[in-house]
Structure 1
Amino acid sequence: MSNRIARPAATVLCAVILSCGPVPALAGGIPALEQAGPAAAQVAADRSLHLEGASNARDIGGYVTEEGRTVRWGKVLRSNALDKLTPSDLASLSERGVESVDDFRTVVERTLSQDRIPNGARTNWFDVIGTNPANLPALVDMPTMYALMATDPGASRAFHDALVNVANTEGAVLYHCSAGKDRTGWMTAVLLTLLGVSRADVNADYMLSNQYLTGPRTGSAFIDGVEQSWLDTSFATVDRVYGNFDNYVRDGLQLSLGDIAQLRDTLLA
């Protein structure tokens, strides 16, 4: 289990940020298929896990890679926070064989909204932003957030650990942040790209948060849906800093060829 303890300054600053826009309030939005264009064919399937307490919980399986292989269903699940899961939700996740729950949130988010975990699942804390207090204002500044996720050493370490965990878990892995769209969105974009899924389908999957998030819109980017330009910022930052995605995987995420081979063996049919 990863157990990174945020410093007190991080806790105080994050509490101030969260008070500006409560994390648990989720967002409604425009159906992704209207925004994603022709590449949306592969996301037309019902990906929702149909959990009462986590509207953005969904499966990333079914995508066909550029080599003609298929991402296995039921192996990787992405979600918003799990604090409102019902007993039937927890039973459903147990039936799906969830073996690992990976939390990308800060210590304050975790304290305010404590996960409910299915029986038998282990938990990991891979804090993407909160290990460096200077990063916390990015939680309400999406362009900065998406650039930071691609370059910050703490973020890279968190995503490295999460990807290795996916590669080495026999059962299903569920990872999440608060709304399940930004930290979870970049993790999914990286994972699908590593597996060989086209950028068009990576984008379409990312935009699905605008379909699955439900609840009142507040005008705050922190809890509303996603914009394609934000994900584009992460990929552009990768190209600018590392030269290309492969270099980012090797030098930023520090994944070995063995790690990548294990991911593909675990997740591709």
Structure 2
Amino acid sequence: MTMPDSDRSISLEGAYNFRDIGGQATTAGRRMKKGLFFRSDNLARLSDQDLEKISSLHLRTIIDLRTPNEQKAKRDRIPGNQAIRAVSIPIYPTLEDPSRLKSLFWLISGKYRRVDFEQFAKELYLRIAFDHASQVGSLITLVSDKENLPVLIHCNGGKDRTGFMAALLQSLTGVSHNDIMHDYLLTNQRMAPYVSRFIRRSRWMNLFGFSPERMRPVLEARTEYLEEAFRSILERHESVEHYLSEACGVAPETLSRIRDLLLD
């Protein structure tokens, strides 16, 4: 039986999407180990009390999937009382992220009104899977070394880049499709207050004939985004294992080692 969500969640003051991706039952009757793989949003706002909680996890590695600019804008706070290795594996999902209003010109010109945000989000996951296959391979190889565990994987919101990586690891170990999707969608519960606040604060966009509600597809985790990515993986490579070896350059023995490390 899969571990309850409450047993895998870690409540922090400065991060809303921090949790253990382990504790999941597999279709073969085994279970992903708890306490080895964690996921989160950015760590820039962690309180001192948060740092104490994270110290208790005895992390050895923190993998940051954000771009260099994202890292500079929101620098991680990491416990200073432990030798934690910080690794940057940047994934550049897009040149123009419509949820980040960097250009008023987009609104004035009406460009936002022409964006299909749901299609944008689906394509984002495909870019993560295929345009950044080498980064996926680097992450998988890194976490296959027990000396790097326990590990925390995070991006900015802990939703897309981190969500894809977590689902990939769960799929590799044999967690069921339904349980993978359930864990992926937990992000929406944690992000709901922040999404509502973002939309509320963005009402000024209505002045340019654009409702911020239209951006909700890129602010939420949705089943169809992850399913589209995995459907394409299976169409091109037949299995997650073949995708990791053929597209991402992960050696077969590395995949076996990860299963041994992750499964009880």
Q: 1:206–1:166: structure 2 CA closer, same or farther, 3 Å change rule?
A: same
Residue in 2 aligned with 1:190?
168
Q: State the SS of the aligned residue for 1:52.
A: coil
1:129 maps to a residue whose letter is Y
2:39 pairs with one of 78, 92, 95: 78
Give the deviation of 1:246 after TM superposition. Answer: 2.9
CA distance in 1, matches of 2:238, 2:98: 26
Deviations 1:23-66 (A, max 9, x none): xxxxxxxxxxxxxxxx9x65544322111111100001111111
Out of 96, 103, 123, the residue aligned to residue 86 of structure 2 is 123
Q: Which has the larger Rg? A: 2
Greater displacement, 236-245 / 172-181 = 236-245
Provide the residue aligned with 2:129 in structure 1: 150
- Aligned partners of 1:139, 1:71: CA distance in 2, in Å? 36
Distance in 2 (CA, whole Å) between partners of 1:221 and 1:161 is 31
User: Whole-Å Cα distance in 1 between the matches of residues 217 and 86 of structure 2?
Assistant: 25
Q: Secondary structure at the match of 1:88?
A: helix
Deviation at 1:158, TM superposition (A): 1.4
Residue 232 of structure 1 deviates from its aligned partner by 1.0
1:202 aligned residue (164, 180, 184): 180
Q: Which residue does 1:52 correspond to in 2?
A: 13
- Say if 1:59 and 1:74, in contact at 8 Å, map to a contact too: yes
Long gaps (5+) in structure 1: 1-38
- Alignment identity in percent? 31
- Report the aligned-residue RMSD: 2.0
Would you say the 8 A contact 2:121–2:218 is kept in 1?
A: no
**Counterpart mapping for 1:181-260 below 5 A:** 181-213=159-191, 214-217=193-196, 218=199, 219=213, 220-221=215-216, 224-260=219-255
> Would the alpha carbon gap of residues 226 and 216 (structure 1) be closer, same or farther in structure 2, given more than 3 Å must change?
closer
Q: Relative contact order (alpha carbons < 8 A, sep ≥ 6): 1 or 2 greater?
A: 1
Tell me which moved more, 191-200 or 219-228: 219-228
Write out aligned runs for 1:162-181 (5 A): 162-170=139-147, 171-181=149-159
Inter-partner Cα distance in structure 2 for 1:247 and 1:189: 16
For the Cα contact (< 8 Å) 1:103–1:176, is it kept in 2? yes
Q: CA deviation at 1:143?
A: 1.3
Which TM-score applies when normalising by structure 1? 0.77
Question: Which ranges of structure 2 fall in alignment gaps of 5 or more residues?
Answer: 100-119, 200-212
1:65 aligns with 2:26: yes
Instruction: Give the Cα–Cα distance (whole angstroms) in 2 for the partners of residues 251 and 264 of structure 1.
Output: 18
> 1:84-134: CA deviations, max 9, x gaps?
01111111111111111100011111111111112321100001126xxxx
Q: Is the 8 A contact 1:150 1:237 kept in 2?
A: no
Q: CA shift at 1:255, angstroms?
A: 1.4
1:263 CA displacement: 0.8
Larger helix fraction of residues: 2
1:102/1:144 CA distance change after superposition, 3 Å: same
Counterpart Cα distance in 2 of 1:200 and 1:232: 11
Partner SS for 1:137: coil
2:136 pairs with one of 152, 159, 172: 159
8 Å CA contact retained: 2:8, 2:23? no
Cα distance in 1, alignment partners of residues 58 and 153 from structure 2: 14
**For 1:169 and 1:139, how far apart are their aligned partners in 2?**
38
Distance 1:256 1:221, change over 3 A: farther
